[in-house]
């Protein structure tokens, strides 16, 4: 019911708000419930809430009043999880429609993952099982996994569930508290396709891992497709049981890397077109040169530009774009050496004090070299300063460490991922 009403509202709103507002904000509203003359809806972020309240409440209430009568209103709240699905209702939730293959722009950095996802969608349970996608934040992992889920969710026979590892855990806890795990097991295991997002969330949670292992085995044993998503390769997820790591590796692992320049431009072009927004090439080039590490941020910048142009009723040129994006492009202060050491120590599960202690323990060599390398790349410190901060070593030790890490990165993909993961963590 709320959906039908909302669809009618949208078609009326089309004539009353701009295409950009419609695409950017109004269409992000997810209707949940209709009670009396109140339509309850969810939006994916606080920014949506703020923008809709500030400038769209009027036209939206107007349309609702026409359809429902005087006093009708829209009540919104933020629900970041709303698109994730829920293990408790595996078959009921269709994944978000905008996360489709059609809206996924393919470039060098995601081509392999995209091809693998396509294959899986075409022949689920047959080609790669599981398909394990990994990569940094905001690179389109959830988008791609949802596209697989969506294309398999024909609405007919297949039961598809897209759930985050967190949702899996929460549902499991609810069942355990409710006294029975059987219902949970039955629900999850009846699935034909399981998409597990943010699987790194299972790290360090033994009970969850145990249950996930059973689910995994049951589904795969029955020839059901499993797609897993994580911010790291299976081997690099610390505190993940060996049995799970090896199962996660048993299908196909595909990395999504940060977008290359051409892909960044293509994504900007595609998204601005969808928003009906005229993005001058000069501005697109500039934005694509500034925002390099995340598609989500690229998208965020575009939304900011759209909103700013609307507000100011100004046409977009490079000068205006720079002004509008300045707050989000502010380069953060460089990291300190202590921060680098702390992050590296945490990753290797050692004491930061051990990193700087003198001595030649073999166990500490790798973390120490990685820390020196990252210190060189991510801080303003000189070789001599870095050497001093690692227990008063000689600067040639640091030089050597940087070279070693650089060389090993080239030949050892797993090591490269580890180092890059730490670097992006330090990049804030």
Residues contributing to the site for ligand ADP (CB under 6 A): 99, 103-105, 110, 137-143, 267, 295-296, 299
User: What's the min distance (Å) between Cβ of 142 and Mg ion?
Assistant: 3
Binding partner at 139 among ligand ADP, Mg ion, none, C-beta below 5 to 8 Å by kind: ligand ADP
Residues 229 and 232: their CA atoms lie apart, in Å, by: 9
User: What's the min distance (Å) between Cβ of 100 and Mg ion?
Assistant: 16
Answer yes or no: are the C-beta atoms of 160 and 191 closer than 8 Å.
yes
Q: Which is nearer to Mg ion, 151 or 164 (CB)?
A: 164
Answer yes or no: are the C-beta atoms of 147 and 99 closer than 8 Å.
yes
Among the candidate windows 35-43, 93-101, 140-148, 372-380, which touches Mg ion by CB under 5 A?
140-148
Q: Which residue is nearest to ligand ADP (CB)?
A: 140
User: What's the min distance (Å) between Cβ of 190 and Mg ion?
Assistant: 25
Which residue from 310, 297, 306 is spatially nearest to 272, judged by alpha carbons?
306
Two structure tokens written together for 357: 């202690």
Q: Which is nearer to ligand ADP, 34 or 202 (CB)?
A: 202
Q: β-strand 131-135 against 160-164: which pairing, if any?
A: unpaired
Q: Which is nearer to Mg ion, 21 or 42 (CB)?
A: 42
User: What's the min distance (Å) between Cβ of 42 and ligand ADP?
Assistant: 16
User: Cα 425 to the chain's mean position, in Å?
Assistant: 14
User: What's the min distance (Å) between Cβ of 217 and ligand ADP?
Assistant: 26
User: What's the min distance (Å) between Cβ of 81 and ligand ADP?
Assistant: 13
Cβ partners under 8 Å of residue 378, min gap 6: 334, 335, 340, 423, 426, 427
Q: Which is nearer to ligand ADP, 97 or 103 (CB)?
A: 103
User: Cα 47 to the chain's mean position, in Å?
Assistant: 18
Q: What are phi and psi of 33, to 5 degrees?
A: -155, 150
Instruction: Characterize 119-132 residue by residue with b for buried, 16 or more Cβ atoms within 10 angstroms of its Cβ, and e for exposed.
Output: bbbeebbeebbbbb
Residues 389 and 387: their CA atoms lie apart, in Å, by: 5
User: What's the min distance (Å) between Cβ of 137 and ligand ADP?
Assistant: 5
Q: If binding is defined by CB under 5 A, does position 142 make contact with Mg ion?
A: yes
Q: Which is nearer to ligand ADP, 138 or 421 (CB)?
A: 138
User: What's the min distance (Å) between Cβ of 205 and Mg ion?
Assistant: 19
Binding partner at 417 among Mg ion, ligand ADP, none, C-beta below 5 to 8 Å by kind: none
Residues 377 and 292: their CA atoms lie apart, in Å, by: 17
Among the candidate windows 46-54, 134-142, 210-218, 376-384, which touches Mg ion by CB under 5 A?
134-142
Radius of gyration of the chain (CA): 24
Q: Provide the 3-class DSSP secondary structure of residue 246.
A: helix
Binding mask 57-96 for Mg ion (x = CB under 5 A): ----------------------------------------
Q: Which is nearer to ligand ADP, 140 or 421 (CB)?
A: 140
Among the candidate windows 91-99, 136-144, 176-184, 300-308, which touches Mg ion by CB under 5 A?
136-144
Q: Which is nearer to Mg ion, 171 or 198 (CB)?
A: 198
Q: Provide the 3-class DSSP secondary structure of residue 112.
A: helix
Residue 132 has, within 13 A of its CA and on its CB side, a CA count of 21
Two structure tokens written together for 12: 């009326």
Q: Which is nearer to ligand ADP, 143 or 224 (CB)?
A: 143
Binding positions for Mg ion, rule: CB under 5 A: 142
């Amino acid at each position: 019911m709320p959906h039908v009403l909302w669809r009618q509202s949208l078609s009326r709103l089309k004539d009353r708000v701009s295409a950009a507002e419609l695409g950017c904000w109004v269409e992000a509203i997810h209707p949940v419930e209709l009670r009396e003359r109140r339509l309850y809806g969810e939006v994916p972020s606080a920014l949506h809430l703020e923008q809709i309240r500030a400038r769209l409440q009027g036209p939206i209430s107007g349309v609702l009043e026409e359809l429902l009568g005087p006093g009708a209103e829209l009540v919104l709240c933020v629900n970041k999880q709303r698109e994730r699905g829920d293990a408790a209702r595996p078959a009921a939730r269709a994944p978000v429609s905008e996360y489709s293959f059609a809206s996924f722009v393919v470039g060098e950095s995601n081509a392999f993952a995209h091809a693998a996802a396509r294959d899986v969608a075409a022949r689920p349970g047959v080609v790669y099982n599981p398909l394990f996608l990994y990569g940094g934040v905001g690179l389109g992992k959830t988008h791609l996994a949802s596209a697989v889920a969506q294309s398999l969710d024909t609405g007919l026979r297949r039961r598809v569930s897209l759930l985050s590892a967190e949702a899996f855990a929460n549902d499991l806890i609810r069942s355990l508290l409710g006294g029975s795990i059987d219902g949970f097991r039955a629900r999850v295991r009846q699935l034909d396709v399981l998409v597990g997002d943010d699987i790194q969330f299972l790290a360090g949670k033994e009970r969850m891992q145990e249950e996930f292992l059973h689910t995994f085995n049951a589904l795969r044993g029955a020839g059901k497709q499993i797609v897993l998503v994580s911010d790291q390769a299976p081997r690099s997820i610390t505190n993940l049981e060996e049995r799970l790591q090896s199962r996660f590796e048993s299908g196909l692992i595909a990395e999504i890397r940060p977008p290359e320049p051409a892909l960044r431009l293509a994504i900007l072009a595609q998204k601005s077109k969808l928003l009906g927004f005229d993005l001058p090439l000069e501005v697109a080039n500039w934005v694509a040169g500034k925002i390099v590490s995340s598609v989500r941020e690229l998208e965020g910048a575009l939304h900011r530009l759209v909103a700013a142009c609307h507000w100011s009723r100004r046409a977009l040129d490079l000068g205006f774009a720079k002004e509008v994006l300045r707050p989000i492009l502010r380069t953060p202060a460089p990291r300190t050496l202590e921060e680098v050491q702390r992050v590296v120590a945490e990753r290797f599960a050692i004491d930061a004090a051990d990193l700087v202690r003198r001595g030649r323990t073999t166990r500490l060599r790798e973390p120490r070299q990685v820390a020196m390398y990252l210190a060189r790349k991510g801080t303003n410190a000189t070789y001599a300063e870095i050497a001093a901060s690692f227990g008063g070593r000689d600067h040639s030790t640091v030089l050597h460490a940087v070279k070693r890490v650089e060389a090993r990165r080239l030949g050892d993909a797993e090591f490269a991922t580890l180092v890059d993961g730490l670097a992006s963590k330090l990049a804030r």
